[in-house]
Amino acid sequence: MSVKVYSMPRGGIAFEDPFAPREFETAFLPVLSVIPLIQHTGNKAYPIVFIGEYVKEGMLIGRGQGAGSANVHATVPGKVVRMASWKTIDGVANEALIVRLEGSFDRLGKRETPHPWEDLPSFEIQRLVAEYGVVEMDEGGRPLADLFAELNMVTGPITLVVRCVFDDPWLAADMALCDRRLKDVVEGAFIAARACKASRIVYVVSKNENKRALQFTAAASQQPLAQKIPSDSVVVGNKYPQRNRRELELALRAYEEDTKSERNDMGRLFIVGPATIAAIFDAVKFRKPILDRYVAVGGSAVKEPKVLKVRIGTRLRDVFDQCGGFISAPERIVIGSPLSGRAILDIDEPVVKTIYAAAALKKRQVGGTVERSCIGCGECRSVCPIGLDPEELFKRCKTGGALAERECHGCGSCEAVCPSRLPLKTIIYEAQVNRRPV
């Protein structure tokens, strides 16, 4: 294991949040599950069940349609009572099947039969992850089968990077997953490496998680394919946003340079989080779709913040209720980290495959609610990990000027340190995403 700490070359903040959860609990099963037909990047899954029909736990209920689309499964047994449709705050339409809980579970609480995978060809692993609807669970939801197919076209080495970098307290769900399913994550990494023909696996952890790095390395050495696919652990900095894909790759390229005399080049980096790796493990070893996921639930408006193991399709209303409900009416509810997540309008939106956190914030936690003047302190410039000038970009956006071509990544570091509490990230990032000045 590398003992040197590899960090992003500039910017970042030490991000702490006392309202992020630490305790773990399994959520109650919902009476009504709202199971969206879009939990991925592409077109909605085509529903193959009808209103009034009964479904089983794990049953296919929506079939993916083309690249970017993924299969959707019933997460509870019950009766399909109706369809629902809504739009997110940014205007994206979605539809869902509403399932009322009835009948017995086929998987919950029952012993599952493992399937050998070591001799499976990569195309068969791709087929299984497609069949069971596995997507990138810590990104936008791109289907893993699409990614594996793309990586199989790469000439040259591929390194699978398992990203366990906890630079944000709102990654508590991934941390809990690593604590409870570390061996599954390690085995899932070998399955993923076989699927994408990676020649190497690297487990990346934050510098305050050295013990976990040793655990990953030890567990990997026990795998049957350990001799064919070598593994290593790399320690990186814990300043936010070290976990960002660009910042993480910069740190890993520095590690690669230091070790080039000992190992082959890392080549293409395939970076994936522990929740996705665990889903690959479940799909291939146990022929199981994504039925649940760990979600960090908290914020200053929540009575008892917790990390919950939640069934996909559980409404956020029910999730917050299990955490004791709201102390007072929240000013904003955010899916993901409060620094970089998206706001929602309706707490009846469901938990989907790509939700790792949900935060209900009081007014004092929400920046930019009062328009103040920039004082020119330069704090935003000092923390930007890609060297932008948030102050200048913000002013340009507000006056209708053109934006710089180099895109803001939306990490929110500038907004977090701004003493005037200006909505820097919100204005700059949204303007660039929409390709237009504000």
Quickly count: other Cβ atoms within 10 Å of residue 116's Cβ: 9
Residues 53-64 pLDDT 10s: 999 999 999 999
179-217 in b/e form (b: 16+ CB < 10 A) is eebbebbbbbbbbbbbbbebbbbbbbbbbebeebbebbe
Domain end among 286, 305, 329: 286
Domain end among 252, 286, 320: 286
345-363 in b/e form (b: 16+ CB < 10 A) is eebebbbbbbbbbbbbbbe
301 located within any domain: no
In the predicted structure, residue 98 carries a pLDDT above the cut 70: yes
Based on the fold, state whether residues 391 and 282 are members of the same structural domain. no
Contacts of 332 (CB under 8 A, 6+ apart): 343, 360, 361, 366
In the predicted structure, residue 258 carries a pLDDT above the cut 70: yes
In the predicted structure, residue 436 carries a pLDDT above the cut 50: no
Q: What are phi and psi of 204, to 5 degrees?
A: -105, 125
What is the rounded radius of gyration, in angstroms, for the C-alpha atoms of the chain?
22
Name residue, tokens 């959860």.
21
What's residue 402's pLDDT? 61
In the predicted structure, residue 151 carries a pLDDT above the cut 50: yes
Q: What is the pTM of this model?
A: 0.94
Strands lying side by side in the sheet with 46-47: 46-47, 60-63, 72-73
Name residue, tokens 């049953």.
59
**pLDDT higher at 237 or 396:** 237
Domain end among 229, 260, 286: 286
Based on the fold, state whether residues 270 and 397 are members of the same structural domain. no
Compute the Cα dihedral for 291, 296, 297, 303 and give only its sign: positive
What's residue 406's pLDDT? 60
Residues 167-188 pLDDT 10s: 999 999 999 999 999 999 999 9
What's residue 80's pLDDT? 98
251 located within any domain: yes
Contacts of 211 (CB under 8 A, 6+ apart): none
**Number of independent structural domains in the chain:** 2
End-to-end CA distance of the chain: 48
248 located within any domain: yes
How does residue 407 score in pLDDT terms, banded at 50, 70 and 90?
A: confident
Q: State which amino acid sits at residue 426.
A: T
Identify each DSSP E strand in 305-410 by its residue range: 306-311, 332-335, 342-344, 357-361
Q: State which amino acid sits at residue 286.
A: F
Nearest in space to 362 (alpha carbons), one of 334, 383, 381, 341: 334
Q: What tokens were used for 270?
A: 């395939």
34 located within any domain: no
- Dist. CA 44–CA 68, nearest whole Å: 9
Based on the fold, state whether residues 267 and 396 are members of the same structural domain. no
Quickly count: other Cβ atoms within 10 Å of residue 9's Cβ: 11
28-49 in b/e form (b: 16+ CB < 10 A) is ebbebbbbbbbbbbbebbebeb
In the predicted structure, residue 368 carries a pLDDT above the cut 60: no
Based on the fold, state whether residues 265 and 386 are members of the same structural domain. no
Contacts of 108 (CB under 8 A, 6+ apart): 57
What's residue 15's pLDDT? 92
Q: What is the mean pLDDT of the chain?
A: 91
What's residue 31's pLDDT? 95
What's residue 348's pLDDT? 92
196 located within any domain: yes
In the predicted structure, residue 193 carries a pLDDT above the cut 50: yes
Over residues 220-240, mean pLDDT? 94
258 located within any domain: yes
How does residue 287 score in pLDDT terms, banded at 50, 70 and 90?
A: very high
| DSSP letters for 57-88 | TT-EEEE--STT---EE-SS-EEEEEEEEEE-
Based on the fold, state whether residues 249 and 132 are members of the same structural domain. yes
In the predicted structure, residue 304 carries a pLDDT above the cut 60: yes
Range of the domain at 385: 379-433
What's residue 399's pLDDT? 74
- Dist. CA 359–CA 240, nearest whole Å: 18
- Dist. CA 421–CA 374, nearest whole Å: 9
Q: Are 20 and 172 in contact (CB under 8 A)?
A: yes
What's residue 403's pLDDT? 63
- Dist. CA 231–CA 199, nearest whole Å: 9
Over residues 214-218, mean pLDDT? 93
What's residue 438's pLDDT? 38
Based on the fold, state whether residues 175 and 276 are members of the same structural domain. yes
Based on the fold, state whether residues 128 and 275 are members of the same structural domain. yes
Based on the fold, state whether residues 280 and 419 are members of the same structural domain. no
How does residue 50 score in pLDDT terms, banded at 50, 70 and 90?
A: very high
Written in H, E and C, the secondary structure of 164-193 is ECCCCHHHHHHHHHHHHHHHHHHHHHHHHH
- Dist. CA 160–CA 266, nearest whole Å: 9
304 located within any domain: no
Q: Domain containing 128 — which CATH number?
A: 3.40.50.11540
Over residues 109-138, mean pLDDT? 94
How does residue 13 score in pLDDT terms, banded at 50, 70 and 90?
A: very high
Based on the fold, state whether residues 145 and 274 are members of the same structural domain. yes
318 located within any domain: no
- Dist. CA 160–CA 190, nearest whole Å: 9
